[in-house]
Structures are given as C-alpha cells and as structure tokens.
C-alpha cells in the first residue's frame, strides 16, 4: 500500500490506533533517520494491522472511525505518526506526544541531509528546504523553486540536479509499504495483545494491567482519561499513584480478587460503579493513614499495595467502620509497610490478604494473624532503627512517630504539625550530630547517616543549628523549650551528647525510638495486645541493608533531573529509593537510588539502576541481582540514547 494511501486512510478513520497502544515517543534523531532512509529508498519495515469491526473496536483519538471495519495499527505507529505529522503538517487524530518533534524538519538540496531548523545556519541558505512546506505545496513547490533558482546563475547551473532531488523527495509518498493484517473472529483482544507484544520489539510490552484496561476501554472508551483525572487529583495532594495501582483497587471492589484476569468479564457499568466506590474508599484510607499515622505524602507512604486490601474491607462494610476497626486496619497497614509485605510478590500477597477477610472465618483479626504468621513477632526491636539513609524501611516509621507523638520543633517549641512539613524537597531532615563534624571525627558514611541520627525540624531551626554540636545546642533547647528534646526521643544523659560518645548515643536513641513505636502500636490495638507479645521463636534482627539512597541535596537534584529528562523523552521515570527486597520474606536487602526494576522498556531490556556516590559493595550487589548499573547521570543517558532512543 502506498504511503499516500495510508495517510488518506488515517484521515478517513480507516486506519487508527488501538486503545492499548501507548503514545508517540520518537525523538528528532529517529525522525531524521526515517526520512533519510525513505529518501534513499532503504527498507523501513512492514506494518501490522488488526482488522476488526468498527463497533467493537476501541481506538485512540477523537476522530470517528470508518464504517464497517477499521484497521488498528499494532506495529508501525511511530513510523506512520512521523510520516503523517511531517507530510500533513499536523499530528494525526490519535496523536499523544510532543508535537515539537514533528516540526521544522529541513532538507539540504546539496548534501541531501535532513536536519532540524537552525536559524543562523539555514535562514539565508536557499538550499535548505522545509520538508513539511514542500510536501504541502506538492508540485507547486518544484515550480516555485525552478522559477527562483533560474534567476541565480550559481543555482541555475545545477537546477536539473536539484529538481531531481525534489522529485525523489516527493516520491516518498509513492513508496509501497507492506501491511500485514490480523483478521478473524478468533483474534480476541488477548490474542491481539500477545501478537503486539511479540512484534513490538522496539517498545514497551503491555502488562496484565494494560490488557485489563484495554478490555475496559473497549466498552468504556473514556475509562483511561477518567482514571487519570483521579490520579492527578491525588498527585496534587503529593500522592503519586499509577493506573495499575488504581486498577488493583477497582478489582478488589468489583471482584474481590487481586488478579486482573477476574476483571475481564466485568461490564462497563460494573467498572464505572467499582471506580466510583474505589475512589471514595481510597480517599477515606488516605485520610486515615494521614490523620491517624501522620503519613501525609508519597515519600513516606510505604506499603501502597496494602491500600487495595483496605479498600475491599471498607467496601464490604459500606464504608462504615468503628474507631477500633479503623485503628486495627492502621496497625495492619503500618506493620505491612515495616516488614515489606508487598515488596515482593505483590499480587499473591494481596490475594492471600483478601482471602483472610472473606468467608465465615474472615475478619480483621484473621488479616493481622496472617501477617504475624508470615513475619513472626510484630514487636519492634531497637535494631530496626540501625539502618541508615532516607531509603531505609524505618525512615517512614520515624516520620510517623514525629507526627503521631507531636514531636516539638527545637527552635519554636511548637508541635510539628502538617503545615510545617512537606515532601522531600521541603522536609527538613536534621542530622542531630552534624555530618561535617562526624566526618571530621572519623565516622563512616553509614554511621553519619544512621536513622537514629535523624529528626525532623522546621527549615529555620535547621539553618539556625547549622553544624553546632549537641553538647552545645541541646543545652540551649532544654533551657528555652523544656521537654522539646525528650519529645524527639533524645537520651537525656549529657555524657552521650559529646561526639566521642556518638555510637553510644545512637544505641540509646534506638532504644527510645523502638519503645515509642511499640507504645503507639499498642495504642492502635486498644488494649488487645496479643499480636505484640512474642509467641514465636524470635528472629535474629540484622542490619545488613545495602545502599543508603539519597544522602545529600545534590544527589536528590541529580535524580530529579534524570527523571525529568526521561519524561521529556517519552520514557518511564525511575523509582526513587527503590526497595529491593526478598520476594518471600519481604526483608529489605538494598536501597537503590533510582531504579527501573523491569527495564526501561519493560520486558525488553535489562533492569537498570543509577547509583550516586555508592560504595563498591552496593554496586556489586546490584550487578549480582541482574541490574545494569550506572554511577553517574551522563553514563545512563548515553546508554539510553544509544540503545533505546536511536
């Protein structure tokens, strides 16, 4: 089929994109390369289309599909979107990407090269032709060029050569592209998605969630956009969730299951009702987690996949639960987060937890008991605070203590309420013993960034304290705001305030922190403390997590910059402070600064991790775990540009 015919079919709606296709992600180098190949008549591959009835097809974009049947592009979206955008001067109806990539492509009649417009280089050079302008004017462009070049002796002598090159350019529209077609009633959506995954070697494979959403959109085309609006609402409140996570909650409401396959047979009406209920219960859950536990933004909201379980419980009780039930849910939630219940096999653990809530024997008590049978003793030991860095599993627990216990700011003596705290960019994590002083005294990076050396303060107070040692500024705080130190679990033995007793200070504060956590956990149980009494052989508590995550503002800015760059290139952002855990036990093994655990092109490329200023042991561990490791921003970007974007 000629390129020009395919473009006409896109205009008429005969060619479209299936709903499950992702957006346009090509960059300018890929656009130039495609047009260069077509100009030189190099092979540019075949297209693959799914031929299906218009009434049963779910496709992207606002334009109507043709009557009868429609051909949905399974392979070739990037190529045809590029050709259409450059030739027509506007993106196709199904376009979802950066329109700037499809503007200002130029062609040089002398060197026969394609480049994007550069004012200084091209403005006064008549040999640079705007490809889109030329294609839109067609043969008139050739006539105008002949008329213009004939007036310039230097250009006129090679006029026939220039006209030949322009004709070759125009001939791109006559290139024949082979279109393979997938037809037949037996080609269900599942079969087509499987075909898509097999042939789409240059893109991201579709997940089970993508397939579930594709089936939903077949009956309810607005589903994806409606769900995205809810995600944006939560994002405005500093909670970052994705469609897969929201679908889990919808699934638990509609089917009582975690696996998406159970959602496939649900009607559009059932999904719409399920979404409405799920959103309501998610809001209730976030309010409970924020109000009761103080975990009020994304960076401290660990155990996110425990929320679909809570949503199911709320739905089966029509959202009406007692304070005791609420607190037991919060007890289970914080315990699930502390021990990494959902850090491994998420789907199977959600299913087990949902099952514990169902049937005659199902209850909240059964849910908590199952957690204890899986983990063992739920009592928090001091050694749990022996890890280090903001990526440690118990960093959110320290934040929770600060919020639940109304820890006081050391500069004002006022409780640290929500309006004084925010996300990682504005949250002031204060090193009780200043880093500079500790490094000067010969302490290691792990010791300097120990959790027990962290507390939360207002920005003004943090700046005021600066690099003063506790033996000096603690006395001032205790004088001006009695009790403020104790509210942040500072040991009051003044001997421990000296830097040469720093390790003893950490040990003493770990004891105070664990006592405080267990006290708060007991409060949530309303006197029913059987789950906090050791009844099993106690675990040997180890502090062997590798990697510390973010330890400086410079590291944070690098990770933010990389994710912004990824997003600008149409690629998925990495997971900041990725919790690498044992899939069966949930034990945290390592914290990686920025990770793509399923590859940047999910299922098609190796897992990737960016480790900033980490020791050789962390890098070696990540490598042994199957990750492709990069230790600086430049190396990672070069890898992506060479292997994914080009």
30 half-sphere exposure, CB direction, 13 A CA radius? 20
Strands 15-16 and 69-75: parallel
Q: Residue 389 domain-assigned? A: yes
* Model pLDDT, residue 551: 58
Q: Residue 193 domain-assigned? A: no
**441, two tokens:** 């005294």
C-alpha distances out from residue 95 to 15, 22, 91, 98, 564, Å:
13, 10, 6, 9, 21
* Model pLDDT, residue 65: 45
My answer on whether 336 and 393 are in the same domain is no
Q: Residue 187 domain-assigned? A: no
Q: Residue 632 domain-assigned? A: yes
My answer on whether 112 and 231 are in the same domain is no
Given its phi and psi angles, is residue 577 left (phi above 0), alpha (psi -120 to 50 degrees) or beta? left
Tell me whether residue 219 is exposed, middle or buried, using C-beta atoms within 10 angstroms of its C-beta: 0 to 12, 13 to 18, 19 or more. middle
* Model pLDDT, residue 626: 81
Going by C-alpha positions, the residue among 383, 293, 382 that lies closest to residue 333 is 293
Given its phi and psi angles, is residue 614 left (phi above 0), alpha (psi -120 to 50 degrees) or beta? beta
Terminal alpha carbon distance of the chain:
27
Q: Which residues share a beta bridge with 456? A: 429
- Point out the domain boundary residue: 497, 532, 567: 532
**Residues 61 and 7 sit within 8 Å (Cβ to Cβ):** no
The dihedral through the CA atoms of 212, 330, 590, 574 has a sign that is: positive
Question: How far is Cα 606 from Cα 618, in angstroms, rounded to an integer?
Answer: 18
My answer on whether 144 and 123 are in the same domain is yes
My answer on whether 523 and 594 are in the same domain is no
Domains of the chain: total: 4
Residue range(s) defining the domain that contains residue 559: 553-645
- Point out the domain boundary residue: 179, 194, 217: 179
Question: How far is Cα 459 from Cα 68, in angstroms, rounded to an integer?
Answer: 64
Question: How far is Cα 159 from Cα 152, in angstroms, rounded to an integer?
Answer: 10
**529, two tokens:** 């403390």
Those residues with Cβ within 8 angstroms of residue 228's Cβ, 6 or more apart along the chain or in another chain: 243
Q: Residue 198 domain-assigned? A: no
Q: What's the maximum distance between 2 C-alpha atoms anywhere in the chain?
A: 98
Predicted structure pTM score: 0.70
My answer on whether 328 and 449 are in the same domain is no
My answer on whether 371 and 395 are in the same domain is no
Q: Residue 545 domain-assigned? A: no
* Model pLDDT, residue 335: 94
**Residues 115 and 32 sit within 8 Å (Cβ to Cβ):** yes
Element at 428 (helix H, strand E): strand 428-431
Q: Residue 23 domain-assigned? A: yes
- Can you point out the beta strands (E) in 58-147? 69-75, 105-108, 114-116, 128-130
My answer on whether 584 and 506 are in the same domain is no
Q: Residue 510 domain-assigned? A: yes
My answer on whether 508 and 560 are in the same domain is no
My answer on whether 167 and 311 are in the same domain is no
My answer on whether 475 and 403 are in the same domain is yes
Those residues with Cβ within 8 angstroms of residue 425's Cβ, 6 or more apart along the chain or in another chain: 556
- Point out the domain boundary residue: 532, 564, 589: 532
**178, two tokens:** 């082979």
Query: Which mean pLDDT values do the consecutive 10-residue runs of the chain (646 residues) have?
Result: 93 76 78 95 88 57 55 83 94 79 93 94 92 91 89 91 93 93 71 67 60 73 87 92 91 90 82 96 95 88 92 94 95 93 82 90 90 87 85 87 87 72 54 93 89 90 90 94 95 96 96 94 88 56 53 75 82 78 70 82 72 82 84 87 69
* Model pLDDT, residue 517: 93
My answer on whether 64 and 170 are in the same domain is yes
My answer on whether 323 and 400 are in the same domain is no
**Residues 495 and 471 sit within 8 Å (Cβ to Cβ):** no
Note the residue count of the chain. Answer: 646
């Amino acid at each position: 089929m000629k390129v020009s015919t395919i473009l006409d079919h896109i205009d008429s709606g005969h060619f479209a994109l299936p709903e499950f296709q992702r957006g346009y992600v090509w960059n300018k180098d890929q656009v130039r390369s495609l047009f260069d190949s077509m100009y030189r008549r190099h092979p540019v591959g075949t297209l693959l289309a799914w031929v299906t009835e218009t009434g049963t097809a779910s496709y992207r974009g606002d334009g109507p599909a043709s009557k009868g049947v429609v051909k949905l592009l399974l392979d070739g979206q990037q190529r045809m979107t590029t050709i259409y955008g450059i030739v027509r001067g506007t993106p196709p109806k199904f376009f979802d990407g950066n329109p700037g990539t499809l503007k200002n492509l130029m062609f040089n009649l002398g060197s026969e090269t394609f480049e994007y417009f550069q004012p200084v280089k091209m403005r006064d050079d008549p040999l640079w032709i705007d490809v889109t302008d030329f294609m839109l004017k067609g043969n008139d462009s050739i006539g105008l060029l002949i008329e213009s070049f004939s007036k310039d002796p230097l250009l006129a002598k090679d006029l026939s050569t220039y006209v030949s090159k322009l004709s070759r350019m125009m001939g791109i529209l006559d290139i024949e592209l082979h279109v393979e077609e997938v037809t037949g009633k037996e080609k269900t959506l599942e079969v087509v998605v499987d075909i898509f995954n097999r042939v789409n070697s240059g893109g991201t494979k579709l997940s089970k969630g993508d397939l579930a959403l594709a089936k939903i959109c077949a009956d309810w085309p607005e589903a994806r956009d409606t769900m995205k609006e809810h995600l944006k609402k939560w994002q405005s409140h500093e909670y970052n969730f994705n469609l897969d996570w929201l679908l889990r909650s919808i699934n638990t409401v509609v089917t009582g299951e975690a696996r998406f396959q159970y959602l496939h047979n649900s009607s559009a009406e059932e999904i719409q009702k399920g979404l409405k209920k799920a959103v309501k219960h998610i809001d209730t859950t976030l309010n409970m987690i924020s109000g009761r536990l103080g975990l009020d933004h994304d960076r401290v909201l660990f155990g996110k996949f425990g929320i679909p379980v809570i949503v199911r419980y709320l739905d089966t009780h029509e959202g009406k639960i007692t304070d005791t039930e609420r607190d037991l849910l919060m007890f289970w939630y914080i315990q699930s987060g502390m021990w990494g219940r959902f850090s491994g096999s998420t789907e199977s653990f959600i299913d087990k937890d949902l099952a514990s809530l169902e049937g005659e024997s199902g209850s909240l008590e059964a849910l908590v008991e199952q957690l204890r049978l899986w983990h063992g003793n739920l009592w928090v030991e001091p050694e749990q605070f022996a890890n280090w860095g903001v990526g440690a599993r118990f960093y959110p627990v320290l934040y929770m203590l600060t919020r639940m216990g109304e820890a006081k700011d050391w500069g004002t003596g006022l409780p640290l309420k929500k309006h004084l705290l925010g996300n990682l960019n504005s949250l002031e994590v204060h090193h009780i013993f200043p880093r500079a002083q500790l490094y000067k005294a010969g302490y290691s990076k792990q010791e300097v960034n120990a959790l027990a050396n962290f507390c939360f303060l207002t920005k003004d107070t943090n700046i005021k304290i600066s690099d003063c040692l506790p033996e000096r500024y603690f006395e001032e705080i205790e004088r001006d705001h009695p009790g403020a130190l104790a509210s942040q679990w500072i040991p009051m033995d003044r001997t421990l305030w000296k830097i040469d007793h720093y390790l003893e200070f950490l040990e003493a504060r770990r004891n105070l922190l664990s006592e405080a956590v267990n006290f708060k956990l007991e409060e949530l149980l309303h006197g029913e403390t059987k789950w906090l009494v050791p009844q099993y052989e106690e675990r040997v508590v180890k502090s062997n997590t590798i990697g510390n995550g973010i330890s400086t503002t410079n590291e944070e800015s690098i990770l933010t910059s990389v994710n912004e760059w990824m997003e600008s290139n149409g690629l998925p952002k990495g997971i900041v402070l990725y919790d690498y855990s044992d899939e069966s036990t949930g034990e945290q093994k390592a914290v990686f600064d920025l990770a793509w655990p399923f590859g940047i092109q999910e299922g098609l490329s190796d897992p990737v991790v960016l480790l900033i200023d980490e020791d050789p042991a962390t890098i070696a561990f990540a490598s042994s775990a199957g990750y492709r490791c990069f230790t600086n921003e430049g190396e990672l970007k070069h890898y992506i540009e060479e292997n994914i974007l080009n």
